[in-house]
Chain A
């Protein structure tokens, strides 16, 4: 007797067998003990499986049942961000900055990280910038990798926020374990004989530090005078500040005026009105400033980066000078050890005795205007490019929704479309080379290839943009408006990111490969018809 196989028995039990075959089986089972036993065993197996899966269900944890677990409370993020910023600051001040200084001492030069953020557009120059950019990219990649790894283990946002906070604290705490002293009075005086063995946070109308602070000095005051010794940084928000003592770290100040008549071992960052570096004044690192008037009679060992309306330099500058403002005067005693650039409306005045390592580069108002026009042109190009891409996206969503969604799904697979895109690029290059080799045969094919490839390359950004929009705003509902909004957001981000020097090129290359691969895969999916498969009897 020919028996039914196990597959047919299972499909029969589950009501999936064609009616004619099911009738045949019903008749057969009545006569065949072996098939009947198998059928019975399979049925029992189904029951056992269902029972095993439904029995002994674990209860849902009560904390998940609470609707409060719905969103991460905003204070968690605020706290996490605050603590993270705090940790990042310490990491910068105590690890990255000294490392950069060591690099600088080793002869690699370099601008400050903050200056890179503030002045990157204006002062794009050479290797030092590259080092900084690579450093930022490395830090960002480490951060992304850390979050990725954390997400695999701990997926709850609250837990991630807490872990990030703890990490940030872990970075900060070992270096500043001591307690902080806080003083809040109308007039605060730290006498010359007093030594504070911790950070000092101080606020008052008048603050004077003649003694020693073995840590950071953080001040909020009308007038701040430091004649003593601060072994850490000074961070101050003051009406007027005068520093006549010694600071082993950095000075970061927002105030109306700042006068440095003492010694600062690291950098000075100042935002305010007037800055005065007296003849006695020494800055071991760089001066970064946005202010109205700067009189620099003392010595700055590294760079000067500034948006300064009026600059007067009679002292020494060990590194580069990059200043944008109205006027610049370099006195007879002025010295600049590195490259010097000035962008301003008035012609700089350089006294005959001034010592400059290289001639002062002057970017005139006209050149400045030309640069501005160029920047505007680039912006208009970007806006037009964005508009065209968005229109194309709208067209795709409304006219070819099937293709659009299929390609968007492929875009979400990330690895596969990038691989296919890279392969397509390599194939394109190969065909181009072959075309050039074969000359006459290749011209037509090459032109046709380019004509086909160029639109795909352009459309690529729409899908990567839509994917990005989905990631930020959540997957779009079926409404066209929501999809278009996501495309628009993604395109804005891509076009903005594309403007970043160096990185922008890499971003567009990735977008090109990724999107092209997705479009090609989308075409493939759309062209594939589902084969009809019949099961063996």
Chain B
């Protein structure tokens, strides 16, 4: 973002904080499509994504005074969005997903590099998206946060409520589950370690 755009964004935020509805509307128009796309990836249905987008912006409006203007607004927005979506998914699914301790103890089979390459080559984006839809909430969310929202390990850890050291484990476990869906259980595992 060029300095002029950044200044205008900060100006908008300041005005919105002061209660200017026009400024808030402009911020919403500017950022809502991106947040909707993020929610669409994180949530299972389009309706959930629409609702989540609205809820996130209601939350953001309430919390605007907490925004630290030295940070990029979009990063803060993604953090709020990620927390909200994860909160929703967790509440709906209860505790179906694996707890940190269980992930820690889950053996991860070493893949056969050749078979893995083959699987990746033959999988289309559409197939990957369909497979993502079938993943458990935590796995799907972890992949979305890291490979769509481009979040740091620290932010992923904070959002998912796991220790930073486990983010890699969560991501790798998610990749394994994705591969299992894409290629059938056990196809890519079983190599040497």
Report which A residues bind B (CB closer than 8 A): 3, 5-7, 10-11, 14, 16, 34, 37-38, 40-42, 44-46, 48-61, 64-65, 67, 69-70, 152, 155-156, 474-475, 477-479, 530-531, 533-535
* CA distance in complex: A6, B24 (Å): 46
From B7-15, B25-33, B70-78, give the one contacting chain A.
B25-33
When the two chains form their complex, are residues A5 and B28 in contact, meaning their CB atoms are under 8 A apart?
no
Closest residue of chain A to B62 (Cβ to Cβ) is: A474
Q: Which 6 pairs across A and B sit closest by C-beta, in order of nearness?
A: A52-B128, A37-B113, A155-B51, A67-B25, A38-B113, A53-B148
Instruction: Known contacts A34-B113, A50-B148; decide if A478 and B50 are in contact (CB<8 Å).
Output: no
Q: List 20 A-B contacts (CB under 8 A).
A: A5-B110, A7-B168, A10-B172, A10-B175, A11-B168, A34-B113, A37-B113, A38-B116, A44-B120, A44-B121, A45-B175, A48-B128, A49-B147, A49-B178, A53-B129, A56-B126, A58-B37, A60-B37, A477-B63, A530-B163
* CA distance in complex: A34, B25 (Å): 54
Report which B residues bind A (CB closer than 8 A): 21, 24-25, 28-29, 32-33, 36-37, 40-41, 46-48, 50-51, 53-55, 59, 62-63, 65-66, 92, 108, 110-111, 113-114, 116-117, 120-121, 123, 125-126, 128-129, 132, 143-144, 147-148, 153, 163, 165-166, 168-169, 171-172, 175, 178, 192-193
* CA distance in complex: A534, B172 (Å): 16
When the two chains form their complex, are residues A7 and B169 in contact, meaning their CB atoms are under 8 A apart?
yes
* Option from A7, A45, A55, A156 in Cβ contact (under 8 Å) with B116: A45
Instruction: Known contacts A7-B172, A45-B175, A54-B148; decide if A60 and B36 are in contact (CB<8 Å).
Output: yes
Q: Specify which chain A residues have a CB less than 8 angstroms from the CB of B120 in the assembled complex.
A: 41, 44-45, 48
When the two chains form their complex, are residues A3 and B148 in contact, meaning their CB atoms are under 8 A apart?
no
When the two chains form their complex, are residues B129 and A61 in contact, meaning their CB atoms are under 8 A apart?
no
Dominant secondary structure at the B interface: helix
Instruction: Known contacts A6-B172, A156-B54, A477-B63; decide if A57 and B113 are in contact (CB<8 Å).
Output: no
* Option from B48, B53, B110 in Cβ contact (under 8 Å) with A6: B110
* Option from B40, B48, B147 in Cβ contact (under 8 Å) with A50: B147
Q: Specify which chain A residues have a CB less than 8 angstroms from the CB of B172 in the assembled complex.
A: 6-7, 10
When the two chains form their complex, are residues A64 and B168 in contact, meaning their CB atoms are under 8 A apart?
no
* CA distance in complex: A534, B164 (Å): 10
* CA distance in complex: A64, B32 (Å): 9
When the two chains form their complex, are residues B125 and A58 in contact, meaning their CB atoms are under 8 A apart?
no
* CA distance in complex: A331, B41 (Å): 80
When the two chains form their complex, are residues A49 and B33 in contact, meaning their CB atoms are under 8 A apart?
no
When the two chains form their complex, are residues B166 and A533 in contact, meaning their CB atoms are under 8 A apart?
yes
When the two chains form their complex, are residues A56 and B129 in contact, meaning their CB atoms are under 8 A apart?
yes
* CA distance in complex: A37, B129 (Å): 25
When the two chains form their complex, are residues A533 and B53 in contact, meaning their CB atoms are under 8 A apart?
no
Most buried by A among B59, B113, B143, B166: B113
Closest residue of chain B to A152 (Cβ to Cβ) is: B92
When the two chains form their complex, are residues B168 and A475 in contact, meaning their CB atoms are under 8 A apart?
no
When the two chains form their complex, are residues B37 and A3 in contact, meaning their CB atoms are under 8 A apart?
no
Shortest Cβ gap from B141 to chain A (Å): 12
When the two chains form their complex, are residues A16 and B153 in contact, meaning their CB atoms are under 8 A apart?
yes
Shortest Cβ gap from B190 to chain A (Å): 12
Shortest Cβ gap from B46 to chain A (Å): 7
Shortest Cβ gap from B185 to chain A (Å): 17
* CA distance in complex: A167, B97 (Å): 37
When the two chains form their complex, are residues A49 and B117 in contact, meaning their CB atoms are under 8 A apart?
no
* Option from A3, A61, A477, A530 in Cβ contact (under 8 Å) with B50: A61
Task: A64-B36, A155-B47, A478-B65 are known; give 11 further A-B pairs, CB within 8 A.
Answer: A5-B110, A38-B111, A45-B175, A49-B128, A52-B128, A56-B126, A57-B40, A67-B24, A67-B25, A475-B63, A530-B163
Most buried by B among A38, A44, A156: A38
When the two chains form their complex, are residues A533 and B165 in contact, meaning their CB atoms are under 8 A apart?
yes
Q: Specify which chain A residues have a CB less than 8 angstroms from the CB of B153 in the assembled complex.
A: 14, 16
When the two chains form their complex, are residues B132 and A53 in contact, meaning their CB atoms are under 8 A apart?
yes
Q: Specify which chain B residues have a CB less than 8 angstroms from the CB of A534 in the assembled complex.
A: 165
* Option from A6, A478, A535 in Cβ contact (under 8 Å) with B111: A6
* Option from A40, A67, A474 in Cβ contact (under 8 Å) with B117: A40
Shortest Cβ gap from A473 to chain B (Å): 9
Shortest Cβ gap from B2 to chain A (Å): 23
Q: Specify which chain A residues have a CB less than 8 angstroms from the CB of B123 in the assembled complex.
A: 48
Shortest Cβ gap from A279 to chain B (Å): 64
Q: Specify which chain A residues have a CB less than 8 angstroms from the CB of B50 in the assembled complex.
A: 61, 64, 156
